[in-house]
Structure 1
Amino acid sequence: MASFQTEGVAIVTGSAGGIGLGAANALAASGARAVVFADIDIARVQESATASKKYATNPDYEARAYQIDVTSVESVNGVFAKVVEEFGRLDYLVNSAGIDVANYVPVPDVDIADYDKVLAVNSRGILLCSQAAIAAMSKQDSRSFKTITGESRDLGRGAIVNVTSALSYAAVPGKVAYIASKHAALGITKATAQDTAGKGIRVNAICPSWVRTPMFDAESKKFPPIGDFIKAAVPVGRPAEPDEVGDSIVYLLSPAASYVNGIGLILDSGLTLTVHLGI
């Protein structure tokens, strides 16, 4: 449907792989004019940007790859300035850069340096990138969309989706830094949505449970029983695929979600229906 088209310019952080890559490719497939792949790993993100062209549906599609450190004000502002200079506007931001804890340990044994590192990427990074995006979006004209009835719908100046986690609403043992960072990310989402609604900028979060990504593979090595737990607890018996999360992100960015603001959309196949199983 036309209302699910995202025809503007997007920046996706953490897009060398995982959910970020799934989101960036989904944006290309849904008609984006340009997708900027931004990641700390410049070699991998360049490959991802080049490969995205085979999914693009906009004949004028352009893909760019930039190295970004989402914990650095200078790095973030530099990338966003380049994008606005080249394309004239920024319509969508997907904050997908994220890391997990180094080791699963109880709170008394947490390495504070690891805690600070996780919070810096997973929550500070979202705030810094959101600040840069809002500064750019606030200066540009609103866009509109013609509905199926022929009426014009105001889409505002831009939309942001923060990739958080089902653990923005819950907790598991041994991951206090990750859980704290994801609770903070959802809080940033809600606070930002309040602050920017009057500017015509929507802000939402996607909150998936397990997704088949490199981070999930690493988690499986740290905690081998996770595979059996997922089969028992998740109604469909498997993790989500990155492209499934990407499709939900596109929805939140698209005209179809023009009245959706400040939510955390749980994407868990009904896992919360079976939480009594524990972990």
Structure 2
Amino acid sequence: MARVTIEPWTRPAFQPTGATATAMLVVFADDDVLGAAPDLQLKGMVPAGSPVAALDLRGHHHADGPEWMDGWRGGAVRTIAERDLGDLGRLDDAKCCYSVTVTVDDPRDLTHLQLAWAVAAALARQGAFAVLDVHAVTWLPGPAVADLPADRPFVVQREVSLTAETTPAPGFGHPVHTRGMVKFGRPDLVAGVAADGIEHTAQVLNHLARMLAEGHVLTPGQLLRFDGQRTLRVEPYEPGGAVPEVNLNNEGLLLV
């Protein structure tokens, strides 16, 4: 059978910024699934030229660092795990996890993301059962990651999450924002809207996230026109006063 050629996820509108892009996945397993001589079998699973030298794969045993490992399955991340995974008994009992980190400077393509997911998929095929996308703050079951086609197209919604806060901030509205844009070396996006504007704003943020993933750049002072009716101004996201803190763990841009 002929081997499928894995095409790189491209950035057709790439503009250099000097920013660092990083993907980080935390992969949970009942116990060590790699052993002393790991073989991830990545050949044919990532595009040629993937930044393998930038891959940082580490195994973590609960007994050696319980606080570090438990930090990825507690607090607010646990609430999201309950939403995405359901029963957390196996997650609580896991004795091992792996951190998969790929960090690159100003990437002209998105092969670093393909590499990170290929490593997570390899771990899942070895028996790991849950994957946390750290920057998007989403969870996937291991079998779903193991089954990801290596030649799948890029879909921004699989890499970036959208959050709409249910409680409005006085003078700002309901915060709607992205998480995960650091994976492209781009800032996350934040907007404040009335309740009836959440859905439309989410669509706008999805569109802009795709543009940034493709390499576009948004700059403070830039005006964006949508649907011939709505104009948004790009500003730095600086929490304070009427602008709420949404804990991006990344730089942000505010759309006003």
TM-score, length basis structure 2: 0.25
Comparing both structures, which one devotes a greater share of its residues to helix?
1
TM-score, length basis structure 1: 0.24
Larger-gyration structure (1/2):
2
